Amino acid sequence: MKVSGTSGVGPSAGPGKAKAAGGGQGFQVAQPAAAAGAVQTARAAGVSGVMSVDAILALQDVGGPLERRRRAVGRAGRILDVLEDVKVALLSGEVSAGDLERLKQAVRDERDATEDDRLEGVLNEIETRAAVEIAKLERANRAA
């Protein structure tokens, strides 16, 4: 179940009086005045044991391993899409600095969420190659 908003916790109704069958007065036990205070305390204690909605929402944001993997696959797919665009542009001779900047940004976004040393190495290589290609473009633009 996903909780999508917060709403206050309403007051607890507490224990109610039992209704007698047949509409007459049922069996009642007289309570001393001190016992009435204990009933009020029991009513308030019942509400305080409920987990707050903010805590539930915070737990949902953390996500489980499957959620983290789904997000990682989505980010990796974005990098692969940008890499494919850059490859096609390089092969056709129409690569632009904007394409390479998009690639560098996609790598930076992935780097923030990774904890794998091998993946860090691959991202470093991609980012270095993009920087080299940007430098080549800038040099070619200055020479022209």
Q: How confident is the model at residue 92 (pLDDT cuts 50, 70, 90)?
A: very high
**Model confidence pLDDT, tens digit, residues 45-88:** 555 445 677 766 666 666 677 887 788 788 888 889 999 998 99
**Model confidence pLDDT, tens digit, residues 20-52:** 555 556 666 666 655 555 555 555 555 544 567
At a CB cut-off of 8 Å and minimum separation 6, what does 108 contact? 127
In the chain, the N- to C-terminal Cα span, in Å, equals: 61
Domain locations along the chain: 63-143
| Helical axes 97-111 vs 117-143, angle rounded to 10° | 160
